[in-house]
Homo-oligomer: A and B are copies of this chain.
Amino acid sequence: MNGQPLTSELARLVHSSLPEQQEEAMRAARFGLIDYLASGFYARDDAGVAKLWRIVEAEGGSADVPVVGQGRKASFLKSALLNGFIGHALDFDDVHSDVRGHPSTVILPALLAAAAAHRPSAERLLAAYAVGVETMARLGRTIGAAHYEKGWHNTYTLGVIAAAVAAGYLAGMSAERLEKAIGFAATQSSGMRIQFGTEAKPLHAGLAAQAALLSIRLAEEDFGGTRTGLDGDIGFFGLYGDRAAAEERLLAGWGSDWSIVRPGLWFKIYPFCSAAHHAADAALRLHQSGAFLREEVERVCILFPPKGDAALIERNPSTGEQGRFSVEYVVALALSGYPLTLEHFTNRPIGPQLLAFLPKIERQYDGGIEPAAQAVPKGRFTIVEVVTKNGDTYRERVDCPRGAPGNALTLDDLQAKLQASVPDDPARARQLVRTIMNMQSADDLQMLLTLI
């Protein structure tokens, strides 16, 4: 490696970042905040939230930071555990293709707690969010595809560092302290994909956000730690993945553009793993074509590029919750004419008709098919092919599903998602959107905190 260590150079770039000078980045951050809150409100009565509250209550502690959709507060660190879990509980929150994971449900819980503690301007919070997404996207590009494929859950492994950077930036932390905060976060980086399909997956987001805040507190207390946590053979990249070209991927061009804008966040219109959204769009089109009835389906082939289905670990789900990671279940639902809405992705058992449909569906892989230029994520596509009992074949291919960058949701779409998440209180959804789209000052931000 030439020049400065990665860690110190990243800290320096973060410290001097000015994303608020790019209006597009601020607007993208406002969109992301709306989507995070919608995803969280949807989950406000989730059973896992109640379990986490019991653990938090037994610990006791101060009530400083609002917890999304709960009408109550928790301590600085514990609020992040809860808000991270809540945002990701239904897997309805945004993803980012460079991250190969969920940025906002780790970064924003850390920032909400830091906002309650430091009372920055709303602009500063949005800027910190853009800096966090930028960090997480660049960590993802640097660490490489093998990291995720090996079994790591990027939302946790990368999110903890990104959220620490974002919260440190919000607090105006010096570059020297940011270096240590990065090291404290990196040394708490964990999370295994083997937990996908269980409540532990969204818990990872909460654990990452909480660990990020602890990293910031340790740095504020001048606790001793490495200032080169990302560097060298035994630093973060050496240990967790690939550090070839790390300098270029992590640092080059920082601040000339913002990853929260390009490629941008992917807001979900379906409450399941984004890797199944291409197949969902394709299967819905096939169903809506009216060309065949479910009973006429002989078999279904779902075609991916090699490893394009790594996140979809459930081939034989027995509950809707497991179905969030089953492309078979999603396609079975769509071809059966069910809407792809939340009530089909709970912890209730999957009905017998759908279970009987699953064995007709198989996955295939083809490395020879040319990905589309606009594909999201890069190199991805999904083809759903239905063969009917009388031998007819129907195919649909999707390269960039609805909600993904290039096929993005509008503010109206996001407002509709937020309204659906608080169906009993449409005024609240409207007030939240108005507040988020217009907030600038510290007072505006404190007002937002009273609404979540």
Contacts and interface: CB of A to CB of B under 8 A. Distances in A.
A269 B75 CA distance: 41
Given A194-B226, A194-B228, A235-B194, A78 B59 contact: yes
Contacts of A75: 59-61
Q: Which of A52, A59, A189, A217 has the most B CB atoms < 10 Å from its CB?
A: A59
Contact of A192 (B60, B186, B192, B200): B186
A261 interface: no
Contacts of A323: none
B186 A187 contact: no
A57 to B, nearest CB: 10
A190 B193 contact: no
A234 B214 CA distance: 28
A217 B52 CA distance: 9
Contacts of A232: 194
A424 interface: no
A236 interface: yes
A58 interface: yes
A221 B55 contact: yes
B58 A59 contact: no
A62 B222 CA distance: 26
Interface in A184-210: 184, 186-195, 198-200, 203-204, 207
Contact of A200 (B187, B190, B198, B207): B187
Interface in A133-185: 150-153, 156, 183-184
A239 interface: yes
B58 A76 contact: yes
A368 interface: no
A217 B81 CA distance: 14
Nearest to A187: B192
Contacts of A193: 234
A194 B192 CA distance: 22
Interface string A233-259: 111101100000000000000000000
A323 to B, nearest CB: 14
A198 B225 contact: yes
Nearest to A214: B55
A187 B187 contact: no
A226 B196 CA distance: 8
A77 interface: yes
Nearest to A234: B151
A227 to B, nearest CB: 9
Contact of A55 (B189, B194, B198, B218): B218
Contacts of A207: 188
Contacts of A199: 223-225
A190 B190 contact: yes
B200 A151 contact: no
Given A78-B59, A150-B234, A223 B200 contact: yes
Q: Which 4 A-B pairs have the closest CB atoms?
A: A151-B234, A199-B224, A60-B62, A190-B190
12 contacts: A51-B218, A59-B62, A59-B76, A150-B239, A183-B195, A194-B232, A194-B235, A195-B229, A198-B225, A199-B224, A200-B218, A203-B225
Given A55-B214, A151-B235, A199-B225, 6 more contacts: A51-B223, A60-B60, A61-B61, A194-B226, A194-B235, A200-B225
